[in-house]
A and B are shown apart, each in its own frame.
Chain A
Amino acid sequence: MIDTNLQTNKKLRNALEAFSFTGPSAIILFCVMLLPLILVVVYSFFQNMVVENSPFVGFSNYMRFFTDPDIFKMVRFTIVFTIGSVFLHLAVGLLLAVKLNTNINRFALSIFRGIFILPWVFTAAVVAVAWQLILLPQGILNSMFSVIIGQRVLVNWLGKPLIAMGTLIVVNAWRGYPFCMTSFLAGLQSIPESLYEAAQIDGAGRSQLFFRITLPQLRPVILSVVLLDAIWTLNLFPLIWLLTGGGPLSATDTIATFTYRYAFVDYQFGLASAAATIGLLVTMVFTVFYVRKQKVD
């Protein structure tokens, strides 16, 4: 009897001890992360939570979201932008990582690493202002083309729907490749040198070394980076808002700019919450893949 009590007490003490360690973090996580998410989902079922006594409207905000006249443009750009950005991040990141993983002078190598990582260092606001100055019709890029061609070039890089879509992908690729590059570089440095040596003894060329050893060895890193990058790109807001505001003519709208516009231009917070919930669901699909992949690894 005494033994059972002692055991129960010990179990209780262990549980309390475990809770005392994890409890504060769990409470903070719940308040800071989970509670706002739950509230956004709840708000999406009310007309406009900012207004007092806002009525419950069921799925009406979701219906309004899916029947928005600009939704097709938003979905189109979100897909194109995410695929384009992730592809360019991957390609540029991999290329530069391979180039930086060579045995050249260590001092020169650290300088190049510093330079290549620069776009990642600046905040989105700085990047947006800098690129605006570059891309304006009277900006640096057109001036360069004017000098090369010998006549005045006045392309409005952010002012025409199709051109603006392409331009935003390039700007985002510039801003985002350093993350991929550093991840790939870490992955490359963990590939055993003996694999390359063995392959070279077997007569493998440079391209065979890359496609048969480097890429397969990097695959786990590439998959993780692609999933993370897709999640971040889907949710990207400040760069797009500051450069184009989702325009021209909603051509560069993503679910993030849509949500912001509903909330702070139209003041439809119920509708904004519905859009945010849809965004959350889409992001969760990628998150599930990512978490699964991490478990497998």
Chain B
Amino acid sequence: MTKLNRWSNIFNWLAVIALAINLLMVFFYAPVELTMGNVQRIFYFHVGSAWVGAVTLGIALICGVLYLYRPKPLYDILGMASVEIGVVFVTMTIVAGSVWGRPAWNTWWTWSPRLTSITVMWLVYVAYFMLRGAVEDEQKRARFAAVYVIAAFITVIMTYVSIRLLRDIHPVVFGDAVEGVQAGAEGLQEFSGVDSIRMVLTLNVSVVAFSLLYVAWLLNRYRLQLLINRANMLKARVAARMQGDSLSVADAEEMRPATTD
């Protein structure tokens, strides 16, 4: 526990520092984009959170697979925490994208395939908590959550594949050269010269900063869950004491032998 405390503190500070550097770079280091102007700066926030969000949900998937393979509570907690954080990142992506869309497409929202599928993805992961909330038994809850997260990841794949296959208004940022040129044509500044290096660097720092934020949140969430578990156990123990039920909770060892002989 103390080791965990230390690590979460370290990552809390790392995340704060990285985000501060990132913010400074977004506003003072990255160049003003030609067509969009200053509004484009939200793009670093948007892409950073989208990228880290997808990775986070991928980690939730891995935790789910690991849990089914070997049902340890650790995997369940990490999986749940990753989904929670992933939902926050996806929400940030949608909000930032919407703010960007207003000047770029002249509307806050449009039902293009990419925007629709990320909304669907968001709904799928919010429903994850509905499922968890409906199962009382801990092991069953963890098992169902693991199965659900595996099925849910299909929507993540579909979201990130659909943009490649369906015609869309949304620009492609990560991709091959042809798509990069398309993206340039569709409104983002052509990546060329010093400006483009500065943009790419800022974007990379965003991704790193958000990744550190993810690790910090994950550790904090894990610590919180351990505390919740401990509180629950103490509560159960107190309840058992008050009922005079010496058998419950962790007192199995103290059980009295049968007195018939």
A and B bind: no
Chain B positions near chain A (C-beta within 8 angstroms): none
